Amino acid sequence: MKRIVVCILLIAAILSGCGLMRSSSYVVVTPHNEDYGVALDSDVLTVSSYLSLKNALINAVEDRRDDFVIRAESYPGNLGEDLNQAVYEVSKMSPLGAYVVSSMTFDYSRIVSYYEINFNVSYKRSLEEIQQIVYVTDLSAIQGKLEEAMASYEPRLTLLVGDYRAFDLASEVENIFTSHPEFCMEMPETSMDLYPESGTQRILDIKFTYFHSPEELAAMRDEVETSVRRIVSVYGLSNSELTNARRIYDRLGRNAGYIPQEDSRTASDGVYGALINGQANSYGFAQAYCLLMQSCGIPCTIVSGQKGGAAHSWCLMDVDGTSCYVDPSLAADGDHMWFLLGTMELELNGYEIQNPEEYPFVELPWALRPSP
């Protein structure tokens, strides 16, 4: 009986010991490398395929590394040929490489069971320029970023586009300038470089050149905003949209004189000129009037075209439920007879709309034309 008890205790002790052994054991977990075979060993990247080699080079370029080493272990295929191809694809054909890399050279040697590859890269962009690249998907996203850049008067915008399609930068900037008189104090000159020269993924390096500094333009915007609030508070509080439109038209004509440089978009003769400086071209008058109408809750857009063969701008607005044209620059000449205009009145007075198919035919009711 004693022997049976001893045996039972011995078995229990063994089982208990096994439990202790299990609880004190450990498992070493090697993390799964998802970067297509690129492994990091201190400052040395280890690769084992062409794809991992390309990714290692892209990673180095993103970090703007000048001199670095890549180790090729168990590498299949012809390493020399693959190196030449990878360097070409990364530095010339990838968007980032084409944008930032000036040159990329290498040499390699066999060391026992692996190859050691030494790279030297020279760059044409700073790390700050690389960090300022913004990723966007398509044209709609590009338009949004252009608007943000113009609202803050940025001198440069660098975009990595995931699905690039050719577009007219000048037209996009013009549309933003026309649609946002509240912050577009002057039309910037623009230029755009693309990297690489072809492909659906490309970097767009867009530059904006303004006559005034960003600080000056921001100060002008604030002055315009203050002036709009003041004018609307005095002349835009009538119950009738037509009355508000007419009163503001008259007030704008008393505030600024007309100058005929119609091809200019500088702040001195644009919306700032019409509201602050006391002189503006037709575009400045149209910008100012459009902004004032919008602030009164009256839909209003700028119309571009010609008058008498010269570049000219005016407005299309919806007043009391009726579409009509109005040329605010006429108010500066004291011409109040032609306050509201229909399509026929435009034609009789030598106006030509730039894109007539985009605008309605307006048959102006005579009842809407107040006496001068």
What domains are defined for the chain? 39-125 (3.30.110), 132-209 (3.30.110), 214-368 (3.10.620.30)
**In percent, how much of the chain has pLDDT > 90?**
68
pLDDT in tens, 176-210: 998 899 999 989 999 999 999 999 999 999 999 99
Spatial contact of 349 and 307, defined as CB atoms under 8 Å apart: yes
**With contact defined as beta carbons under 8 Å apart, do 203 and 195 qualify?**
yes
- Whole-structure pTM value: 0.78
**Spatial CB neighbours of 348, under 8 Å, sequence gap ≥ 6:** none
**Mean pLDDT, the chain, as a whole number?**
85
Question: How large is the average pLDDT for residues 2-20?
Answer: 38
Residue ranges of alpha helices (H) inside the chain are 2-24, 50-62, 79-88, 95-100, 127-131, 139-151, 169-179, 214-235, 241-255, 271-272, 282-295, 329-332, 343-348
Q: What is the pLDDT of residue 256?
A: 85
- Model confidence pLDDT, tens digit, residues 220-279: 999 999 999 999 999 988 888 999 999 999 999 888 888 875 545 555 678 999 999 888
- Confidence band, pLDDT 50/70/90 cuts, at residue 10: very low
- Exposed (0-12), middle (13-18) or buried (19+): which is 10, by Cβ within 10 Å? exposed
Parallel/antiparallel/unpaired status of strands 300-307 and 351-353: antiparallel
Instruction: Enumerate the β-bridge partners of residue 323.
Output: 318
pLDDT at 354 over 60: yes
pLDDT in tens, 14-40: 333 433 333 322 222 323 334 444 554
Sign of the C-alpha dihedral, residues 62, 68, 73, 77? Answer: positive
CA-based max dimension of the chain: 128
Check residue 30 and report its DSSP letter: P
